[in-house]
Amino acid sequence: MSCPGCYDPHKDNTITKEFISKSPQETLDFGTSIGKALKGGEIILLNGDLGSGKTLLAKGIARGLGIDPAYTVVSPSFTLMNIYKARLDIIHVDLYRLDSDDVYELGLEDFMDREHIIIVEWAQRSKDFFQGDVIEISIEYLGEQARRIYLGTDIF
Ligand SMILES: Nc1ncnc2c1ncn2[C@@H]1O[C@H](COP(=O)(O)OP(=O)(O)OP(=O)(O)O)[C@@H](O)[C@H]1O
Ligand SMILES: [Mg+2]
């Protein structure tokens, strides 16, 4: 079925604001395209319910940034912060278990520069903390394998 203007994960084409993912692989591939497009200094806020695919999208973004194959992207919900080496180093955090003020204790300011990408799951918890080159992405559950991924920021 054709979908004019829709993102095609099998082609290296532009990233559309809205993408309907039909499988985990498509979400991973969409994330990879985003990762390839990043220039440094972006803060990516991922919002969406439990199990919507935030960590999977983060994994794709890390792939697109050429993550060192020795690293595996996993949920940082227990470690609070995972750091991966890549074309631009990636700081991956999950605010799910934190109170909204705890974000100030993480020291994220140290990574807010052109050499880093910050990816935040459950970012809505402390939305006001994140300033600058912010890219908001929301993922909505549509069905067992289907998700709507929406880019709230027009930067690509
Ligand atoms: N189209 C899809 N895109 C993303 N994930 C999908 C899709 N279809 C099914 N899934 C499944 O949904 C789950 C998403 O898990 P993931 O850990 O990425 O979610 P999350 O949003 O990070 O959850 P949490 O809020 O617990 O951190 C995976 O098991 C994945 O296989
Ligand atoms: Mg997660």
Q: How far does Cα 151 stand from its chain's mean position?
A: 10
Confidence of residue 148 (pLDDT cuts 50, 70, 90): very high
CATH number at residue 76: 3.40.50.300
Q: What is the mean pLDDT of residues 42-65?
A: 97
Confidence of residue 92 (pLDDT cuts 50, 70, 90): very high
Cα distances from 100 to residues 17, 25, 97, in angstroms, run 28, 32, 10
Q: What range defines the domain where residue 146 resides?
A: 18-151
Q: Say if residue 2's pLDDT is above 50.
A: no
**Centre of ligand 1 from the C-alpha of residue 55, in Å:** 7
Determine the residue of 49, 50, 55 to mutate for testing ligand 1's pocket, defined as the one with the most ligand atoms within 8 A of the Cβ atom.
Answer: 55
Residue 125 domain-assigned?
Answer: yes
Which atom of ligand 1 lies at the shortest distance from residue 59's CA? 18
Beta bridge partners of 151: 137
Q: What is the band of 87 on the pLDDT scale with cuts at 50, 70, 90?
A: very high
Residue 135 lies in a domain: yes
**Residue 31 lies inside a defined structural domain of this protein:** yes
Specify if 112 maps to a domain.
Answer: yes
Q: Does some domain include residue 51?
A: yes
- Total structural domains in the chain? 1
Q: Has this prediction a pTM greater than 0.85?
A: yes
Q: Which atom of ligand 1 is nearest to the CA of 49?
A: 25
- The three-state secondary structure class of 36 is helix
Q: Identify the residue whose C-alpha is closest to ligand 1 atom 9.
A: 145
Mean predicted lDDT score pLDDT of the chain: 89
Say how far apart CA 60 and CA 54 lie, in whole Å.
10
Neighbours of ion ligand 2 (CB under 5 A): 54-55, 75, 121
Q: Is the pLDDT of residue 3 over 60?
A: no
Task: Assess if residue 127 is contained within a domain.
Answer: yes
More confident: 74 or 25:
25
Q: What are phi and psi of 24, to 5 degrees?
A: -55, -40
